[in-house]
Homo-oligomer: A and B are copies of this chain.
Amino acid sequence: MSSDERRAEILLAAHAVFGARGYEGATTDEVARAAGVSQPYVVRLFGTKESLFLAVLHDALDQLLDGFRAELTSADDERSVQDRMGTAYLELLQVRGLHQTLSHAFLLGGHPVIGPAAREGFIKVWRFLRDEVGFDADTAQAFLAEGMLINTMIGLRLIDEVDADDGIHELFETCFPTTMRAVRDVAPRGDEPW
Contacts and interface: CB of A to CB of B under 8 A. Distances in A.
Interface string A16-52: 0000111111000000000000000000000000000
Given A110-B188, A130-B167, A190-B109, A158 B122 contact: yes
B141 A108 contact: no
Nearest to A119: B156
A64 to B, nearest CB: 14
Contact of A149 (B21, B108, B119, B144): B144
Interface in A98-134: 100, 103-104, 106-112, 115, 118-119, 122-123, 126-127, 130
Which applies to chain A's interface (DSSP): helix, strand, loop or mixed? Answer: helix
A175 interface: yes
Contact of A171 (B20, B141, B193): B141
A20 B110 contact: yes
B110 A168 contact: no
A170 B108 CA distance: 22
Given A24-B24, A148-B148, 18 more contacts: A21-B24, A22-B23, A23-B25, A104-B107, A107-B155, A109-B158, A109-B190, A110-B188, A110-B190, A115-B190, A119-B158, A119-B161, A123-B165, A123-B168, A127-B167, A141-B146, A145-B146, A148-B151
A-B residue pairs, 9 tightest by C-beta: A109-B157, A24-B25, A107-B155, A110-B194, A145-B149, A148-B148, A145-B145, A109-B156, A24-B24
Interface of A: 20-25, 100, 103-104, 106-112, 115, 118-119, 122-123, 126-127, 130, 137-138, 140-142, 144-146, 148-149, 151-152, 155-158, 160-161, 165, 167-168, 170-171, 173-175, 188, 190, 192-194
